[in-house]
């Protein structure tokens, strides 16, 4: 090696050492948070852009494996609305919505189950396994994990102000959670990945909102955290600024005064119910941010809105 070659290599070595030092410093700073979450259960609702983007999907899988390796018990509940819509379109089955919920007849619920409990669930399982973890796919039918009942919603007619019942078909809500099967996974090195399909006491299949299933599971397991990955930074105030933290009183006020609207309304309802049922805190976080889960769990400020 010539002197010129040696001189050229030296700055690269110094830079490399600096990068390694920063990495070591970051790991050291994460230690108190690792201790705080050691042995804790964290339920993560996975969906939206984080699930549709290849790089973010890989990041998520690595993050989940890292949580498990550092003593956290992650439980994944996933959605799949866009994939369901694409499959129904391919099969020529018309899909309609009422109040943001997919109207699900018997033919549609079979497709929903095939997509959620089949292809999507196994893609997530494979990604986690590829990242070095051990994942197993489930749906709410397995071990009667999620016993469901038909979801009943009413809507006021704007003209007459008369309430009418929305017919949503095979759309359900959790009636009973039986987490025994998850206790087995929690005590092992396996990461459960759950599709939000429930079964009624009569054996009927129901399509359930993934946020709702994640909230119900977090409550039943008395999870330390429920994380809802979304395509927005979190809950925004009237000026469009991120609200970093809310208590239950403040959250209910946002419901009443109309600050939140659209799809954030049911998410906030899920958050409030979970905290009331004993979950230590719920976080609505931006799944578009790389490694959002690790940032939330292992750094001081996180990346979303915390409700506690």
The answer to whether residue 247 sits within a structural domain is yes
Q: Is residue 225 part of a domain?
A: yes
pLDDT band at residue 274, thresholds of 50, 70 and 90? very high
Q: Return the CA Rg of the chain.
A: 22
- What does the pLDDT read at residue 82? 87
| Per-residue confidence band for 71, with pLDDT thresholds at 50, 70 and 90 | very high
Q: What's the CATH code of the domain at 84?
A: 3.40.1160.10
- Least confident segment among 93-107, 154-168, 189-203, 250-264: 154-168
Instruction: Tell me the average pLDDT across 192-199.
Output: 97
Question: Which residues neighbour 212 within 8 Å (Cβ) at sequence distance 6 or greater?
Answer: 173, 174, 196, 266, 270
- pLDDT, residue 202, reads 95
Q: Is the pLDDT of residue 99 over 70?
A: no
pLDDT of residue 10: 47
Q: Is residue 148 part of a domain?
A: yes
Provide mean pLDDT across the span 167-175.
Answer: 89
Q: Is the residue at 63 inside a domain?
A: yes
157 versus 308: the higher-pLDDT residue is: 308
Q: Would you list the DSSP string of 82-137?
A: HHHHHHHHHTT----EETTEE-B-HHHHHHHHIIIIIIIHHHHHHHHHHTT--EEE
Inside any domain, residue 197: yes
In-domain check, residue 27? no
Q: Measuring CA to CA, which residue among 290, 247, 296, 241 is closest to residue 272?
A: 247
pLDDT at 158: 59
Q: Is residue 24 part of a domain?
A: no
Name the domain count of the chain.
Answer: 1
Mean pLDDT of 49-72: 93
Cα 145 to the center of its chain, rounded Å: 17
Q: Does the residue 138 lie in any domain?
A: yes
Mean pLDDT computed over every residue of the chain = 87
Give the model confidence (pLDDT) of 16-25 as tens digits.
877 777 777 6
Count the Cβ atoms, other than its own, within 10 Å of residue 131.
17
Using DSSP, state whether 38 is helix, strand or coil.
coil
What percentage of the chain exceeds 70 in pLDDT?
Answer: 89
Residue 232 has pLDDT above 80, yes or no: yes
Domain enclosing residue 190, as ranges:
39-307
Residue 161 has a pLDDT of 58
pTM across the whole model? 0.87
Q: What is the rounded average pLDDT of the residues 140-148? A: 96
């Amino acid at each position: 090696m010539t002197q010129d070659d040696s001189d050229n290599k030296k700055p690269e070595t110094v830079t490399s050492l600096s990068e390694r030092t920063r990495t070591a410093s970051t790991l050291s700073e994460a230690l108190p948070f690792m201790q705080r979450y050691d042995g804790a259960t964290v339920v993560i609702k996975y969906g939206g852009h984080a699930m549709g983007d290849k790089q973010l999907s890989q990041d998520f899988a690595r993050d989940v494996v890292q949580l498990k390796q550092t003593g956290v018990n992650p439980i994944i509940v996933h959605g799949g609305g866009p994939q369901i819509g694409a499959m129904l379109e391919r099969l020529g089955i018309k899909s309609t919505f009422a109040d943001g919920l997919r109207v699900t007849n018997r033919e549609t619920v079979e497709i929903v189950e095939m997509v959620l409990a089949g292809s999507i669930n196994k893609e997530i399982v494979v990604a986690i396994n590829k990242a070095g973890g051990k994942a197993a796919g489930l749906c709410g039918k397995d071990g009667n994990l999620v016993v469901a009942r038909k979801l009943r919603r009413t809507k006021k007619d704007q003209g007459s102000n008369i309430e009418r019942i929305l017919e949503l078909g095979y759309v359900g809500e959790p009636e009973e959670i039986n987490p025994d099967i998850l206790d087995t996974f929690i005590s092992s090195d396996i990461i459960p990945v759950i599709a939000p399909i429930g079964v009624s006491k009569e054996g009927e299949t129901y399509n359930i909102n993934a946020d709702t299933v994640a909230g119900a599971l977090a409550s039943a397991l008395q999870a330390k955290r429920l994380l809802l990955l979304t395509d927005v930074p979190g809950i925004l105030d009237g000026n469009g600024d991120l609200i970093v933290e809310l208590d239950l009183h403040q959250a209910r006020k946002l419901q009443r005064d109309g600050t939140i609207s659209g799809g954030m309304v049911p998410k906030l309802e899920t958050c409030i119910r979970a905290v009331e049922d004993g979950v230590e805190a719920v976080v609505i976080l931006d799944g578009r941010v790389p490694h959002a889960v690790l940032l939330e769990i292992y750094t001081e400020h996180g990346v979303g809105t915390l409700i506690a």
